[in-house]
Structure formats: structure tokens, C-alpha cells
């Protein structure tokens, strides 16, 4: 099996612990009776407890913090939030274990007293002091980010101008408003994040079993020297802070100017060498056919000997069969000319998704980003990294595994890619520092006492894994009437924009990007007319956004079957239940009771007493007959891509076209977030 090798060039910035000592000393607190840890807690007699050279505002005030203390003693505060000794124990051991895992060559022995092990980090005398600072900084960061999420108003696009009176009239107590754009002016957890927090008790029980503990309570006591209640509170707060960072990270997108400036200032310190390429691949395996001759009846193929594929994926066939396969791949490249204004890469992606026989890359339209020299098969590697290669170049390359059509989307230096990641890391760290500066922390080091523990569970073990994360676990709701000044083509979307608004809902969900109606209008205004939205938009444009149409159909039974299988669809309606003229709606999913959950862009269809749609819109459940009765047709889409099969982090499928592990476009930002949070 290949060794995991994540392609993130993160020259990590120094850990920001300045100011962890706070600016003052807390007043005394009433404490409950002490709870003695199960393990030995007394410090070695040769280590003095108090260092007279430093006061209680400095971490070096004590040479050892090991001992017994009251779990309720408050040792740090921030904007009314209090950190107790019981909670501090969790942060301390979580940070100590994480650091030792990440830095095995420069880590203390967790089984020995850490206060007796010297540490060369600035501002500390031993590893216990260092991990205490890390723990306090981690708590401060999570607490400040949680506070910031509650205090900071959300910013909406300037075109968004909802009518509050209409919202109150039509949308009060409507289930769909939970995913309505602009429904709240403050950050809210998405359903995946909320589910993770709700399931923390079960997750801690599973973690206890994985680590060999008999119960979550035993896990908390032995691994952290804390109670289960304190461990749960630690896990919840740590995740709340990280989840808000995730939300803010959607807006981190270093520009070319940002990256170039970073390179000018820090280029000498970067280790990246050579180039990276973004490519699309389509693998075609010979199927036995050979070129037709004049005697072959029209519509039939000449077949050669049986093609065999070994257990290693290597293809064995005749030269004629290879030639026929190669001609098929060449035909794909010949069809890449502009089609209805679509870019060649879009056309290639559509073909690769439909026809590629490489299970690792086909789902994502053959897309591979940030590929470096040596990652691909030698013959592919040689073509992609040829000095003359330019964006837009194509080729058909024969390999042992079949004929590969290749499209080179982009080429850039590895240092540029590394600098782009580091810009994102710096932007994320700036977010955390700004939050901590806004909400300063005060620490009382003379009150700190740390329990001994087994050091088996790290902070990452209870952190949201961020694999296959979805920004939009459900289809978001956009309303035409919330954009009164936006036009689609020549007409306002409030009257003629149900199609483009439905496309915005579909695209946001499928891509996990915030693709609002104004953005869709800017991109695809050519599909708008006085008749509304040209339905060809649902056929031609999804591949440009990396999702794919499965079929265009007119049979309700086919659509119902697709919904039962978890697909999503668009329906266009004529006069009837949904409209007095024509109307597009999104069929999100089939409910357990046989009704369908619909995203309807028309505000006036909600809570409207004179329309028969009242019950369905009130309950977010619509009868199948009310969808099919006046439908003119449907577009069914392939599954949302949440995991890339070939990715070594989130996938489970190897590609014969890759010779080394690969990190996908979805996991890279997740890894960067985790690097930011680990600081």
C-alpha cells in the first residue's frame, strides 16, 4: 500500500503564544471540595514549586504545576467566560499529546514528569510550562472565536434587498427558512456541524473503546485527569471555535497579487521546486473492437480477439485494437472546440465523467490539481512536465492500462502553490489573532494545578474530522423577490428568474460554494429572455462547475426512481399547482412518507391562503401528484461529489495513472484549516 504523503507545503509560522500570561490576576474564587486524580500527582521533591524570580502573571512562576486542586477553581477568564482547573486539564493534555504526535523527533516523554524535562522554547523552563501556555492559548482561541461568532453581524451581497414585511407575512414558521439565504444576521452551525456536536456523547464512547477504556468516564479520568462533563465541555468548545474558523475560511481566497507579494518577501525561505500542473484525464481501455472495413454492415463493429486485463490492470490486446482505442480518444479531443460558448475543459470534463474507465478520477471529470513531477505514470509525467507544455494542450498517450486523453488546464511553479497555501494559513492565523486581541484573556498562574494523566488522547481525536465536509448539506433557499434590482438577460429575476434562481440553489448545493442568483446572472445571462430561463442551461453548464447532468427526461416514474436513489432534479412546471404561467423548482429529496421536499424560489407561494400549494409549502412536503400533474419535463443530476475516490485522505480507490498518493481539491483546504487551528 502506498505511504500517505499529503501535498501541502506548509512552512508553519511560529506558534503565537505571546500574551498568554494575561494582564492581571483574578480575584479569589469560591471552590468546591477537591477531586483527587487516580494517578500519582505529587511533584518530585527536588523541584521547587515557586520560582521567586517570576510573579503570578508569568508561566515560570511555578517550576512545577503538578498537584491536587479543586476542579472548580477559576484560572483564566475572557469576557465573562471562565476556565476552571477541571477544564484546563483537558486542554493541557489534549495539546501535549497533539504536539508530541506532530513532532515525534522533538517531543518529551509523556510517561515521565514533564516539569523535569527541559524545554528550549522561548519564555519557558520546561515542557510542562510550554504545554500549559499552549493549553491556555488554545482555550483562549476557541473561546474568542465562539464569542466572535455570536457578536459579528454577517455581511450579505449588496444586491440582496429583502422586504421584511413580506418575509414576515409569507415565511413565518416555514421549515424552508432554516436554509434561507439571509435568514439570520449571525453565524449559525450547518446541520453537519450540529450533528457532530449532538453526537459527542456517542463519539466519546466510541473513542473510549478505541483507546482501551471501559467507559467515557474512565477515558476522561485516566487520559485527562478530568470528569466526563469537563471533557465534553472541552470537546464542544474546541469544535465550536473550529467550526466558526471553517465558516470564515470560505472567504479566504488569496489573489494572484497576494501570492506574488508573499513570494517577493518570503521566496528565499520556500522549499518548493519545479512546477505543478492541473490536468484532466480520461482513460479508455480497448474493448476488442478493430477498425471497420468495407464489408462490415453499417451499425456493426468488427471485433478482434478477446482483450484481457491482468490483476495488475495491464491490458493485453492486438495492435489493431490499440489503434481503435486510440482513435476513440482522439475523437474526444477533436470535439473540444467551443460548444455553445463552453470552454474546452468543460467539454472534456463532461466526457471524462461519462466515459473514463479510471474509477479513481472519472467521478470528478478526470480532474487532478496540484500534480507534481513524479506523481503520474512516467509517460504521462513526461508529457505534462515537458518544458514546452502550455495551458490548453492536449494529447492521447498509450499506457499499459489503456489510452489516456490528457488536457492540461494550468501550469505554475511549485513555489507559487506553496506560497498560495501559506497565504491562506497566514490569513487564517490573522483571523484567530484578531479574535484574541478583541477578547483578551487574563490568567492566574498561581492558581494553576495540573493532574497527571496517561496522555493517550490528543486534541485532534475529538475535533470534527473535516473529511467530505459540506458547506451546504442541504439545498439552500434563494428567493427571486429578495433581489428586486437584479436582471437576468433583459428582465428582472423577481418576475422572470425562477430558472436562474433554481440553478443558483442547485449549484450552491452541488459545489459547496455560495453561488447566489446575482452571481449566476452574471455568469449565465445569455440564457435569459422574456420567456424566462432557457432550460439548456441545466445541460450545458453544470460541468463548468464540476457537477454533472445524469439525464433529461419526461417520465415521472424515472424521476421518482432517481429521487429514491438520492439524486436531485429540476422540474419545469406549467399552469397548475405551482404557477399561473411557467415555473422552475428544485426537487431536493424524497421524504420517508413519499412526499417530496422542494426548493421553490417564489416567495408568494409560501403561506399563501388562496393557493392550493399552502399545505405543502407550510410543511415543506409536497405530494408527488402535485409535482407531476403540470410538469413539462425534468433534469436529473448525478450525485453530489463529496469525496474524490483517488484522494489518499477521503477516497478509497487507487488510479493506475498515479504512481504516488494524491490530495484532492476538497481535502487541501481542510488540511490547511487544521494546520491553522493547530497553531
486, 626: one domain: yes
515, 381: one domain: no
CATH number where 375 lies? 3.10.50.40
- Residue 402 — φ and ψ, nearest 5°? 140, 180
296, 388: one domain: yes
For 123-137, 294-308, 521-535, which range has the lowest pLDDT when averaged over its residues?
A: 294-308
- C-alpha to C-alpha distances, 121 to 130, 323, 640, nearest whole angstrom: 7, 64, 46
What gap in Å lies between CA 627 and CA 442, rounded to an integer? 60
Say how many domains are in the chain: 2
Is residue 344 in a domain?
yes
Residue closest to 509 by CA, chosen among 543, 560, 542, 474: 474
What gap in Å lies between CA 570 and CA 582, rounded to an integer? 13
In this predicted structure, the answer to whether residue 8 has a pLDDT above a threshold of 90 is no
490, 612: one domain: yes
Is residue 210 in a domain?
no
In this predicted structure, the answer to whether residue 610 has a pLDDT above a threshold of 80 is no
630, 671: one domain: no
343, 412: one domain: yes
Is residue 484 in a domain?
yes
The CA angle 374-11-117, to the nearest 5 degrees, is 120
**Which tens digits make up the pLDDT trace of 626-677?**
999 999 999 999 999 999 999 999 999 999 999 999 999 999 999 999 999 9
Is residue 658 in a domain?
yes
Q: Indicate the SS3 state at residue 377.
A: coil
561, 530: one domain: yes
CA dihedral 476, 480, 486, 488 (to 10 degrees): 90
Is residue 203 in a domain?
no
**Which tens digits make up the pLDDT trace of 27-66?**
333 333 333 344 444 444 445 688 888 999 999 999 999 9
590, 657: one domain: no
* Average pLDDT estimate for 298-314: 82
Is residue 57 in a domain?
no
Instruction: Provide the pairing of β-strand 289-290 with 442-443.
Output: unpaired
In this predicted structure, the answer to whether residue 216 has a pLDDT above a threshold of 50 is yes
387, 321: one domain: yes
In this predicted structure, the answer to whether residue 208 has a pLDDT above a threshold of 50 is yes
Q: What does pLDDT average to over the chain?
A: 90
* Average pLDDT estimate for 455-461: 96
In this predicted structure, the answer to whether residue 144 has a pLDDT above a threshold of 70 is yes
Is residue 331 in a domain?
yes
Is residue 533 in a domain?
yes
Residue closest to 601 by CA, chosen among 165, 169, 181, 158: 181
543, 660: one domain: no
Q: At what angle do helices 319-334 and 344-355 cross, to 10 degrees?
A: 140
- pTM over 0.85? The answer is yes
- Domain of 539? 480-637
Position 679 scores a pLDDT of 81
**Which tens digits make up the pLDDT trace of 559-600?**
999 999 999 999 999 998 899 889 999 999 999 999 999 999
Position 43 scores a pLDDT of 43
Residue partners of 180: CB distance under 8 A and separation at least 6: 171, 476, 477, 479
612, 672: one domain: no
DSSP letter at 215?
S
What is the DSSP annotation of 411-454?
A: EEEHHHHHHHHHHHHHHHHHHHHHHHHHS--EE-GGG--B----
Who has greater pLDDT, 419 or 340?
Answer: 419
CATH number where 495 lies? 3.90.70.10
663, 593: one domain: no
Amino acid at each position: 500500500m502506498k505511504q500517505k504523503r499529503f501535498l501541502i507545503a506548509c512552512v508553519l509560522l511560529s506558534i503565537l503564544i505571546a500574551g498568554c500570561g494575561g494582564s492581571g490576576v483574578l480575584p479569589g474564587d469560591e471552590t468546591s471540595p477537591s477531586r483527587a486524580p487516580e494517578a500519582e500527582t505529587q511533584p518530585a521533591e527536588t523541584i521547587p514549586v515557586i520560582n521567586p524570580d517570576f510573579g503570578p502573571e508569568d508561566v515560570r512562576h511555578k517550576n512545577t504545576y503538578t498537584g491536587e486542586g479543586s476542579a472548580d477553581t477559576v484560572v483564566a477568564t475572557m469576557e465573562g467566560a471562565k476556565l476552571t482547573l477541571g477544564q484546563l486539564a483537558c486542554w493541557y493534555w489534549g495539546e501535549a499529546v497533539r504536539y508530541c504526535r506532530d513532532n515525534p523527533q522533538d517531543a518529551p516523554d509523556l510517561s515521565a514528569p514533564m516539569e523535569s524535562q527541559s524545554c528550549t522554547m522561548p519564555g519557558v523552563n520546561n515542557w510542562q510550562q510550554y504545554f500549559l501556555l499552549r493549553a491556555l492559548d488554545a482555550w483562549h482561541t476557541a473561546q474568542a472565536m465562539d464569542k466572535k461568532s455570536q457578536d459579528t453581524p454577517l455581511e450579505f451581497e449588496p444586491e440582496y434587498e429583502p422586504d421584511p414585511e413580506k418575509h414576515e407575512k409569507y415565511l413565518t414558521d416555514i421549515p424552508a427558512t432554516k436554509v434561507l439565504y439571509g435568514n439570520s444576521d449571525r453565524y449559525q452551525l450547518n446541520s453537519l456541524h450540529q450533528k457532530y456536536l449532538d453526537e459527542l456523547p456517542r463519539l466519546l464512547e466510541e473513542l473510549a473503546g478505541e483507546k482501551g477504556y471501559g467507559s467515557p468516564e474512565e477515558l476522561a479520568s485516566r487520559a485527562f485527569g478530568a470528569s466526563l462533563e469537563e471533557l465534553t465541555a472541552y470537546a464542544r468548545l474546541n469544535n465550536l471555535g473550529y467550526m466558526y474558523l471553517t465558516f470564515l475560511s470560505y472567504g479566504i481566497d488569496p489573489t494572484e497579487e497576494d501570492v506574488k507579494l508573499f513570494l517577493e518577501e518570503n521566496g528565499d525561505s520556500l522549499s518548493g521546486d519545479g512546477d505543478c500542473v492541473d490536468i484532466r484525464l480520461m482513460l479508455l481501455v480497448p474493448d476488442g473492437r478493430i477498425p471497420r472495413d468495407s464489408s462490415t454492415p453499417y451499425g456493426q463493429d468488427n471485433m478482434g480477439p478477446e482483450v484481457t486485463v491482468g490483476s495488475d490492470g495491464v491490458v493485453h490486446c492486438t495492435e489493431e485494437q490499440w489503434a481503435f482505442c486510440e482513435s476513440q480518444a482522439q475523437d474526444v479531443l477533436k470535439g473540444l472546440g467551443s460548444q455553445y460558448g463552453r470552454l474546452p475543459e468543460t467539454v472534456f470534463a463532461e466526457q471524462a465523467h461519462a466515459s473514463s474507465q479510471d474509477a479513481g478520477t472519472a467521478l470528478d471529470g478526470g480532474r487532478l490539481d496540484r500534480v507534481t513531477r513524479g506523481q503520474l505514470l512516467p509517460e504521462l509525467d513526461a508529457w505534462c512536465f515537458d518544458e514546452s507544455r502550455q495551458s490548453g494542450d492536449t494529447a492521447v498517450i498509450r499506457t499499459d492500462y489503456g489510452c489516456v486523453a490528457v488536457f492540461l488546464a494550468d501550469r505554475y511553479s511549485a513555489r507559487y502553490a506553496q506560497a498560495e497555501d501559506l497565504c491562506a494559513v497566514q490569513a487564517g492565523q490573522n483571523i484567530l489573532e484578531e479574535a484574541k486581541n478583541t477578547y483578551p484573556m487574563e490568567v492566574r498562574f498561581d492558581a494553576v494545578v495540573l493532574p497527571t494523566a496517561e496522555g493517550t488522547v490528543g486534541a485532534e481525536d475529538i475535533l470534527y474530522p473535516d473529511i467530505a465536509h459540506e458547506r451546504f448539506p442541504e439545498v439552500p433557499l434563494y428567493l427571486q423577490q429578495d433581489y428586486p434590482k437584479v436582471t437576468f438577460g433583459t428582465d428582472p429575476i423577481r418576475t422572470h428568474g425562477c430558472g436562474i434562481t433554481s440553478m443558483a440553489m442547485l449549484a450552491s448545493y452541488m459545489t459547496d460554494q455560495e453561488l447566489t442568483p446575482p452571481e449566476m446572472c452574471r455568469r449565465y445571462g445569455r440564457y435569459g429572455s422574456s420567456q424566462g430561463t432557457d432550460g439548456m442551461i441545466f445541460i450545458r453548464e453544470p460541468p463548468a462547475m464540476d457537477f454533472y447532468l445524469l439525464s433529461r427526461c419526461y417520465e415521472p416514474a424515472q424521476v421518482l426512481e432517481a429521487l429514491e436513489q438520492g439524486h436531485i432534479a429540476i422540474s419545469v412546471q406549467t399552469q397548475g399547482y405551482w404557477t399561473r404561467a411557467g415555473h422552475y423548482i428544485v426537487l431536493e429529496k424524497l421524504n420517508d412518507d413519499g412526499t417530496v421536499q422542494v426548493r421553490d424560489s417564489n416567495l408568494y407561494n409560501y403561506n399563501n391562503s388562496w393557493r392550493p400549494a399552502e399545505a405543502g409549502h407550510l410543511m415543506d412536503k409536497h405530494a408527488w401528484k402535485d409535482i407531476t400533474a403540470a410538469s413539462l419535463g425534468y433534469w436529473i443530476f448525478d450525485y453530489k461529489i463529496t469525496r474524490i475516490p483517488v484522494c489518499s485522505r477521503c477516497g478509497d480507490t487507487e488510479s493506475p495513472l498515479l504512481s504516488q498518493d494524491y490530495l484532492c481539491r476538497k481535502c487541501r483546504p481542510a488540511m490547511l484549516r487544521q494546520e491553522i487551528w493547530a497553531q
